[in-house]
Amino acid sequence: WSESKDTRKSAAAFVVIGHVDHGKSTLMGRLLLDAGAVAQRDIDKYKKQATELNKSSFALAWVMDTGSEERERGVTVDIAQHPFQTANTDFTILDAPGHRDFVPNMLAGATMADLAVLVVDANQLESGMKGQTKEHILLAKACGLSKVVVAVNKLDATAPKAWDEQTFHHVKAEVGKLLQSVGFEKEDVLYVPCSGLGGTNVVNPAPSSGDTAWVTGASGTLLHHLESSPAASPADDQVKAPLRMQIADVFRGSITNPLSVSGRIAAGNVQVGDIVVIQPSGEKATIRGIEVSSEPGDWAVATELCTLHLADIDPVHLRAGDVLCSTAQPVGVIRSFVTQVEVLEPLLPQGVDVHVGRLHVPGSVAALISTVDAKGEVVRKKPRVAKAGETANVKVVLETGAPLPVGERVVLRSGGSTVASGRVGSVSV
């Protein structure tokens, strides 16, 4: 692969996070339209439908709810992938459709992403800072994302004057503090003043006169920043490691490729003709075709988002969240593990849902072993409860066996909120 990899265009995938109604879908619809991935006539069609429902401002947002190839094939998809291209890069927007269950889907998207786009309504900073924004950025960090592009959105609607420069700088400062408080480095965060609805500074630069005269000086366009954020390129040992890819979605039913899975390769490489193992079922499958960034190819390597067409396996053995691995060294199926977690809400021995990317398994925190300080020294042994902000070593027991390698990032949720996140330490079967 190392000889031929230079011929592949660079690829980058991102998740879109932020409080409901701050304009995520509209901004992404705009990006797809202005980058040429969606035709204006489709937007006009949505606009007509939306106007009939008195919701014309949602026409762009509807692009995100339709049009994805998988949906047209009538398959249920948890993580919609919206591709678009520029001269240099193949992009994929990983969208977590549906507001009610945003977080589990977002977790699935975030583990496949290179970076996050955080959308903040410049006029609603308060709601943006407290609620979902904070949870989403904590989760993005917990999923291993280190780069964020902050779209300071709806600047066309600042009051009393549109495109108020001070508002942009204020939002930038406040969101910056929040991002740094959860561990994002200053140099990994970029800020873009924009309007998704109007399309200003998304793909097309803002007019250099009038209200928006300051914008170009403050930041390039959103697309420019996405292009200049380098996507992960795998280290050689990551490519040579045993294959491991969590299945994000399973597709059934196309005539040429009756059974396919998509995901991001976490480790190793895969070629057409390879035999792989699916965990936890332990069933084998043959790779009959590979697509990377929607282009057919013979191989794919760690960090690439791909679709693998499978043969010689019954679909009942394939579920989203399963892990596809090398036959020589398959990922072990475990029943319990010890993890060091950052505690976000008071943590007791309690039932939790254990989220690992697309996988969620019911389980429980069976024991609090200790809390530790920043150097890893034990502060309290066997505490009754670990408080928000503490780091704790805990034992987690799963209700069913799950394919989790040591080092995998896990998020513990309970009653619809995120209580802790960490990495799998020692495991037992």
Contact 155, 162 (CB under 8 A): yes
Nearer to ligand GDP, 18 or 104 (CB): 18
Q: Smaller CB distance to ligand GDP: residue 129 or 157?
A: 157
CB of 262 to ligand GDP, least distance (A): 23
Tell me whether residue 152 or residue 287 sits nearer to ligand GDP (CB atom).
152
Taking the least distance from each CB to ligand GDP, the nearer of 220 and 242 is 220
Helix axes 40-52, 24-34, angle to 10 degrees: 150
**CB hemisphere CA count around 13 (13 angstroms):** 25
Six token digits for residue 426: 């020692």
135: nearest Cα among 98, 97, 176, 107: 107
CB of 97 to ligand GDP, least distance (A): 10
> Strand ranges (DSSP E) for 177-274?
189-193, 244-246, 249-252, 259-267, 269-271
Q: How far is the CB of 415 from ligand GDP (least distance, A)?
A: 23
Residue 24 or 47: the one with the smaller Cβ distance to ligand GDP is 24
Q: Closer CB to ligand GDP, residue 195 or residue 221?
A: 195
For the CB of residue 61, give the shortest distance to ligand GDP in the complex, in Å: 4
Cα→Cα distances 367→42, 338, 387, 414, 417, Å: 54, 9, 15, 16, 20
CB nearer to ligand GDP: give 67 or 363.
67
Instruction: Give min distance, CB of 194 to ligand GDP, in A.
Output: 7
Cβ neighbour number for residue 78 with a 10 Å cutoff: 18
Angle between helices 102-110 and 132-142 (to 10 degrees): 30
| Dihedrals phi, psi of 51, to nearest 5 degrees | -65, -40
Least distance to ligand GDP from the beta carbon of 23, Å?
A: 3
Q: How many residues does the chain have?
A: 429
- Interface residues toward ligand GDP, by CB under 6 A: 18, 20-26, 57-58, 61, 153-154, 156-157, 195-197
| Contact residues for 112 (Cβ-Cβ < 8 A; gap 6+) | 13, 79, 94, 248, 263, 264, 305, 357
Give the shortest CB-14-to-ligand GDP separation in angstroms.
15
* Number of helical (H) and strand (E) elements in the chain, helices listed first: 11, 23
Smallest separation (angstroms) from ligand GDP to the CB of 198: 6
d(CA 389, CA 252): 44
Nearer to ligand GDP, 28 or 245 (CB): 28
CA 392-101-21 angle, to 5 degrees, is: 105
DSSP string covering 343-355 = ESS-B-S-EEEEE
Which residue lies nearer to ligand GDP by CB, 19 or 244? 19
Least spacing, CB of residue 99 vs ligand GDP, in Å? 7
**Eight-class DSSP state of 396:** E
